[in-house]
Structure 1
Amino acid sequence: MSNMPPYPQEGVQPQMQPQAASSNKNGLIIGCLIAAGVAIPVLLICGGVLVALLLPAVSASREAARRMQCSNNMKQIGLAFHNYHDVYRTFPPAYTVDEDGNRLHSWRSLILPFMEQQALHAQIDFSKPWDDPANRTVAQTAIPAYHCPSSPGDPLSSSYVAIVDPQGIMSGENGSQMQSVTDGISNTILLTEVDTSQAVPWMSPEDIDLATYLAVTASSQHNHPGGSNTLLADGSVRFVASEIDEETLKGMVTKDNGERAGF
């Protein structure tokens, strides 16, 4: 009968065979490496799929925010138009002219005091053209409220233009009184939004005519997918889709005896 006890004596640690311990350790390391080699590509693939799924949603959310800011810009301009009317009893003309009928300044310059830009307005020499050296400093000052945040164009350009038409509110060098808008101020267009191809220097007395407005509205070139923001004479902003009927738009531009139409 052996004198060896059947169990390890108390306080005596069993000795592991060095070779077996080393093999187990190496196997564990190899197993971990294999698992990592499988898991990392899977994680990368899943991460790529998630990013691809999230990007359109993030992009759409950002565009929605930019479109809202664009609408707010136009509402601020609409409020300025109404405050201008309260003071002068007329909306601003599309542009001012000199004695020879040459265009000097835009409505965008005329409403500056009502856009919290009194100091800038005071620097303008309205007796000289907008691009005269005397007005260069002002012309090179960006007005964020005149530029759509979705437009990649020059920040000194204006995304918002009037539709200059003899039958419209913005008919030229003469302003229109609110009571002359017999078609209803909630049915008559003051301004529209345009993309970079039609944008103008904000201080320039340039806008668009009715034919151009109809063409750009029907085109696929917009700052926002599917259409553009439009400012009505009551100060509200509506989104006009590219598919809108042409006759409806013509009726919306005229201020009196035009076809009453709504969005």
Structure 2
Amino acid sequence: MIRVIRQSPRTRFSWNRSPRQGFALRDLLVGVVFAVGLLGLALPAVMSLRSVADRAKCADHLRNIGQGARGYATQNQQTLPRDRVVAPRSSWNTEILPYIGQEALARQYRFEKEWYDASPFGQGAGNRAVAQARVPIFLCPAAPSANRQVLTQSPDAPNAPFRAGATDYVGSAGAYYLNNDPASLHSGAMQHRKITRRIREADVQDGTSFTLLVVEMADKPNQWHAGKLKDDRADVPQMPALAGQWAAPNWNHLRSHSWDGQAPFGPCAVNCSNGAAIYAFHPNGANALFVDGSVRFLRSGMSQEMLIALVSIAGGELLSATDF
């Protein structure tokens, strides 16, 4: 007679389930730790790649702006674009619209009216609808608020501010050395105070490849000091010029700052403050457009002496590409 020996349910359950559960749990924990470790290793690399891509895209935008400036010069007796700072006020950005693929906005704009004019659509319409447009070429994706608009005080209606399209790029009108006394101002390619006529490429005696035309001054009107947000001005109405609106007069007399960005006219001319100074959100420096249309990278902490040499159109400085 054959005897059949049966295991008890408890024995069978213990043998089939307990060891497999323990192995699966250990395996899962090891997998989680491994994945977290890989993520920790990969994240800096991903962030670095994104930073490189953003820097390259910002540089491409400046090259497009340079092509627009040269297109304007070709059509206007080799004069450089610049801001109009007396009524009706306007921006160099508006002058290059037809040459950067923004022909539709260019056709709508009326230079005989103020850039913020809010006249209704139709014959004799104002410029506010144009000024509110987001123009991607005028923005840098590395800026923390790259899709922002600038809340702007309206001279037409002081109690009714409006939002204007923003830019991260500013025209180089000149630079101050040591202080902001008039005697310390060195004229740049978009100067309008000491040089009242339009500047031609031939006036740039220091060489078009070593003279700044447009620089990064990112995330205005927000105020940044050495990588830290000092003042968030997103909901504070700004003056109708020099506050980061692309259609408004968009120039600055550049200056250097202290290393912490708190005080003007210190040793640092790049990435210490965006208050009338070159500032970008790229590691180690900022992009800049030169009069000849080239784009180069200026090192963080560049000296104020080098700033003057790069801004001035007739300073007589001898420079090489490795100097900055």
Name 1:249's counterpart in structure 2. 307
Q: Give the unaligned 5+ runs of structure 1.
A: 5-13
Determine if the alignment matches structure 1 residue 162 to structure 2 residue 162.
Answer: no
* Distance in 2, Cα, partners of 1:17 & 1:51: 53
Counterpart selection for 1:188 from 204, 211, 224:
211
What is the CA-CA distance between 1:40 and the residue it aligns to? 1.1
Match of 2:78 in 1: 90
Structure 1 residues 31 and 15: CA distance shift in structure 2, 3 A: farther
Instruction: Quote how far apart the aligned CAs of 1:179 are.
Output: 1.4
After superposition, the Cα gap between the structure-2 partners of 1:25 and 1:160, relative to the gap in structure 1 and judged at 3 Å, is same
Does 1:50 find its partner at 2:108?
no
Counterpart for residue 171 of structure 1:
191
Alpha-carbon contact 1:248-1:261 (below 8 Å) kept: no
Residue 249 to residue 16, structure 1, CA distance change in 2 (3 Å): farther
C-alpha separation in 1, matches of 2:79 and 2:4: 97
Q: Does 1:234 align with 2:234?
A: no
How far apart in 1 are the matches of 2:37 and 2:197?
59
Q: Whole-Å Cα distance in 2 between the matches of residues 184 and 92 of structure 1? A: 14
TM-score (norm 1): 0.86
Maintained 8 Å contact 2:270/2:286:
yes
1:161-183 Cα offsets, whole Å, 9 max, x none, are 01212621111264221111121
Counterpart of 1:71? 59
The more displaced of 104-113 and 247-256 is: 247-256
Give 5+ residue unaligned stretches, structure 2. 119-125, 150-164, 175-185, 222-242, 258-264, 274-278
CA displacement at 1:106 relative to structure 2? 0.4
Matching residue's letter, 1:262: S
Partner of 1:260: 318
In structure 2, relative to structure 1, the CA distance for the partners of 1:31 and 1:89 (3 Å cut) is same
Change in CA separation of 1:45 and 1:16 when aligned onto 2, cut-off 3 Å:
farther
Structure 2 equivalent of residue 112 of structure 1: 97
Tell whether 2:97 aligns with 1:129.
no
**CA 1:212–1:127: 2 relative to 1, 3 Å:** farther
8 A contact 2:172–2:215 mirrored in 1: yes
SS for the counterpart of 1:200 is coil
Q: Deviation at 1:126? A: 0.9
Measured on the aligned residues, the alpha-carbon RMSD in Å equals 2.3
Q: Which residue of 1 aligns with 2:49?
A: 61
SS at match of 1:96: coil
| TM-score with structure 2 setting the length | 0.70
> Distance in 1 between the 2:4 and 2:99 partners?
89
| Gap change, CA 1:21 and 1:83, over 3 Å in 2 | same
Size of the aligned set, in residue pairs, is 248
1:144 aligned residue: 136
- Which of the numbers 27, 30, 34 marks the counterpart of 2:22? 34
Structure-2 change in CA distance of 1:218 and 1:64 (3 Å): closer
State the distance in 1 between where 2:61 and 2:4 align: 79
For 1:87 and 1:137, the matched residues in 2 are separated by 26
Q: 3-state DSSP class of the match of 2:84?
A: strand
Matched residue of 2:127: which SS?
Answer: helix
Question: Helix, strand or coil for the counterpart of 1:126?
Answer: coil
The residue identity in structure 1 corresponding to 2:22 is I
2:302 and 2:94 mapped to 1: Cα distance?
31
Of 31-40 and 212-221, deviating more is 212-221
**One-letter amino acid matched to 2:42:** L
Contact kept? 1:230, 1:238, Cα under 8 Å: yes
Q: 1:216 to 1:147 in 2, by over 3 A?
A: farther
**More helix by percentage:** 1
